[in-house]
Amino acid sequence: MNPQLPWISFCEVLLPEPGWRVDHAILATYSADLVVLVSALVSLSGRDLDQRGKCTRVDLIRAMDSLRGRVRILAQAGRISLPKTPPQILGLLDEFVREVKCNEEFQSWHPKATLVRYVSEEHPGEVRWRLWIGSRNLTRARNWESGIVLVSRSNGRGDTIPGIGELGRELAYRAGLQSLSAAAVEAELAGVTWDCPPGVDVRSVRFLGPKLNQGLPACIPALEEVWLISPFMDRETVRTISNWGTGGTKRTLLSIPSTLDEIAATGDWSQLRERFEEVFCFDAPILSAEGLDPLDDQPSEESELIDGEDPPPSGLHAKLIYCASGKRRQLWLGSANATGRAWGGRNYEVVVETEISKDQAEAFRYFLRSSRAYQPPATPSEKDEVAELLEAHRNRVCGNWHPTQRVEGECVEVFAGSLDPVLDPSIKLEVASLGGGWKPWPRDGDSITLGEIPLAKRSHFIQVRLVSGDRMCVWIQLAPFDPPLAESRNRAAIAQYLTPQAFLLWLRSLLDQNATSTQGTDWDSPDEKDPGGNPQETEKKKTTADEIITIEEILRAWARDPRSLDEADRKMMLYLTQIEQYARESGKAEEADQLRDFFETWSVISRELRGTAE
């Protein structure tokens, strides 16, 4: 029987346990995909996506509404991506995302960590924390990753782990959530004890970066075996670890072909090969928001998985250092690649130091053996000069260019400084609103007009791309509105996104927190409200009796918790007119009539219940 490492999905890490809800959450990542952020928010709201599959429109709106102001995603500027045909609702994620504007010519925001504070629904003073640290970005890429989950203990019987308070402080400071101060997080975490996974003792957590912790871990005495696993390495770091131990120490190296090819092309290879008994490789990882695409303005089909399909990981993205001496088995894991930039304090990184059991070590050994032996190429591989040029300019733009947006009449304009000192003359920079057409940025100008953008479609996100010949790199960037967008933007966007049926399902979920939202369309399904659609399809989408909230449901909600009726009533007042109006404009007069009829019934019952309570 092959030893297996424990496996847990990232959505499962976020999901509150029954009887608990998310109070605050901070998710740190290098790169992010807005589609994955949808799944993360829905999981944090309490919907189990591992059992239900793709979430519905109601799931997404409910998650955004309940978590606004309490969840922050921290991502490296220039490393946020979205589908080529993005649903407009993704624009509302601008309230949850904060870019960390490291200039990647010199340093990167590279930690992968998630810190969640949960509170008991029955006893709000009871608190639990969950901390995940690993190598996985918040993207759809499926690679070989490593990570660890720690859960706090309420009875004080767990382990005290140095460094978690400092990590919480640094994340909370950068998250900037008004209701979650950095000092309060550090103080609370200082008194928390933790459960470690079976077979693992966590010794410390280190948050690396400028003016913070830095430096490779110390080699343990009498070193018998060392493994260095990392997709990206530099020869100085590899050389340092190759000198750990003595002549009798067994050393193993695992990376990706391109990294090993680069090391092999240097004069150090023969010496390093003598120091490492075994050198293995996996395929390169798939990295979202990195690399190049062909220049093509036509939308392409987004790859989707068949329901229940579990595709194998495609490449190596885990970062591990393992040392063994007798019964002592030390393992370091986290976000840091085997580079001086990662360990030397230039990048922001997070690393966990652990001691693992023999069974855990054997499972890692089995993973190591599942790779293939590396052989240097006969001839050096050619460099992709266009890729290197565009990547360098992406870093330069994101580190030096700070766009903002302004509304002039009905048009949206983007303002920023000139790019003359930033861009090579052969490279063009273009910008677009989410889902809008691309517009070239004037090389000697400081603004462009994106055109008329309705309130519901405005977002602090803009799309940015660099073009060289027939290739490009594209990303999402925050360009804050001045003055900031008001709450009316959110209401307008949600009113256009929710059909009358979905709105009623949302109200039902507010009345009964345990109600499931399996009914309704997928969150990213095409807009059902566009006029000119197939009449037969429109007929199928009329509100059904099952979707209408019954008087009995309203009365049960009132008896169980009058506050749920108050919240549903507030949503009714905020959204009814806009949803009804948009339904009529979209040729859905019958659905609008049904919604209006329901509102009349709702108003009578709500008024009577409040009169009774008074």
DSSP of 202-258: EEEEEEESTTSB-SPPPPPTT--EEEEE-SSB-HHHHHHHHTSS-TT-EEEEEE-HH
How large a percentage of the chain has pLDDT more than 90? Answer: 62
What number of CA atoms fall less than 13 Å from residue 460's CA on the CB side?
A: 18
More confident residue, 265 or 579: 579
Q: Are residues 106 and 148 in the same domain?
A: yes
pLDDT on residue 528: 52
Q: Count structural domains, the chain.
A: 4
Q: Determine the Cα angle at 361 with ends 356 and 364, to 5°.
A: 125
Residues 513 and 474 in one domain: no
Residues 483-498 have pLDDT tens digits of: 999 999 999 999 999 9
Note the pLDDT of residue 299: 40
- Provide the pLDDT for residue 301: 37
Give me the domain span that covers residue 595: 498-613
E strand spans, 94-146: 97-100, 113-120, 127-134
pLDDT band at 399 (very low <50, low <70, confident <90, very high): confident
- Kindly state whether residues 523 and 461 are assigned to the same domain: no
- Running DSSP on this structure, what letter comes out for residue 452? E
- How much is the pLDDT for 534? 41
Q: Note whether 547 and 509 are within 8 A (CB).
A: no
Is 59 contained in some domain? Answer: yes
d(CA 238, CA 243) in angstroms, rounded, equals 9
Q: Are residues 48 and 152 in the same domain?
A: yes
- Whether residue 213 lies inside any domain: the answer is no
Contact 101, 77 (CB under 8 A): yes
Those residues whose C-beta lies under 8 Å from the C-beta of residue 304, and which sit 6 or more positions away, are none
412 vs 302, higher pLDDT: 412
Q: What is the pLDDT of residue 271?
A: 75
What tens digit of pLDDT does each residue of 257-287 get?
A: 999 998 888 766 777 788 899 999 999 998 7
Q: Is 76 helix (H, G, I), strand (E, B) or coil?
A: strand
Whether residue 423 has pLDDT greater than 90: no
Residue of 282, 281, 278 lying closest to 312 (CA atoms) = 282
What is the three-class DSSP state of 539? helix
Give the pLDDT band of residue 519 (cuts 50, 70, 90): low
Q: Please compute the mean of the pLDDT values over residues 441-460 and round it to a whole number.
A: 92
- Give the domain-ending residue among 145, 178, 206: 206
Q: What percent of the chain has pLDDT over 70?
A: 89
Res. 329: pLDDT tops 70: yes
CATH code for the domain of 28: 3.30.870
pLDDT of residue 263: 87
Q: Which of 52 and 200 is assigned the larger pLDDT? A: 200
Kindly state whether residues 333 and 292 are assigned to the same domain.
Answer: yes
Q: What is the pLDDT of residue 538?
A: 39
* 71 and 48 in a common domain: yes
Same domain, 407 and 513: no
* Residue predicted with more confidence, 271 or 52: 271
Claim to verify: residue 42 and residue 185 sit in the same structural domain: yes
Length of the chain: 614
Rounded to an integer, the average pLDDT of 433-462 is: 93
Separation CA 177–CA 285 (nearest Å):
33
Picking from 389, 405, 409, 420, the residue whose alpha carbon sits closest to that of residue 458 is: 405
Do both 420 and 360 map to the same domain? no
| Domain-located, residue 381 | no
533 lies in the same domain as 596: yes
Lowest mean per-residue pLDDT among 43-47, 212-216, 376-380: 376-380
Res. 227: pLDDT tops 80: yes
Angle in degrees, 0-180, between the axes of helices 562-585 and 487-497, rounded to the nearest 10: 70
Q: Report the pLDDT value the prediction gives residue 303, as an integer from 0 to 100.
A: 37
- Count other C-beta atoms under 10 Å from residue 584's C-beta: 15
Q: How far apart are CA 361 and CA 226, in angstroms?
A: 12
In a shared domain, residues 443 and 357: no
CATH at 261: 3.30.870.10
pLDDT (mean) for 378-405: 88
Task: State the average pLDDT over residues 414-424.
Answer: 80
Task: Check residue 52 and give its pLDDT.
Answer: 62
Distances (CA, A) of 545 to 313, 415, 452, 582, 594: 44, 50, 40, 22, 11
**pLDDT band for position 531 (cuts 50, 70, 90):** very low
Tell me what the mean pLDDT of segment 154-163 comes to: 87
Report if residue 188 sits inside a domain.
yes
Query: Is 195 within a domain?
Result: yes
Which has the minimum average pLDDT: 140-154, 332-346, 584-598, 600-614? 600-614
156 and 16 within one domain: yes
The residue among 484, 507, 522 that closes a domain is 484
Give me the pLDDT at residue 330, please. Answer: 97
Beta bridge partners of residue 201, listed in sequence order:
355
* Cβ atoms of residues 69 and 114 within 8 Å: no
In a domain, 383, yes or no: no
Residue 417, pLDDT score: 79
Residue 273 is assigned to a structural domain of this protein: yes
- Can you tell me whether residue 57 is helix, strand or coil? helix
Residue 215 lies in a domain: no
Q: What is the pLDDT of residue 268?
A: 67
Domain boundary (452, 484, 516) is at 484
**304 pLDDT band (50/70/90 cuts)?**
very low
The overall average pLDDT reported for the chain is 88
**pLDDT reported for residue 35:** 94
- For residue 432, the domain's CATH number is 2.60.40
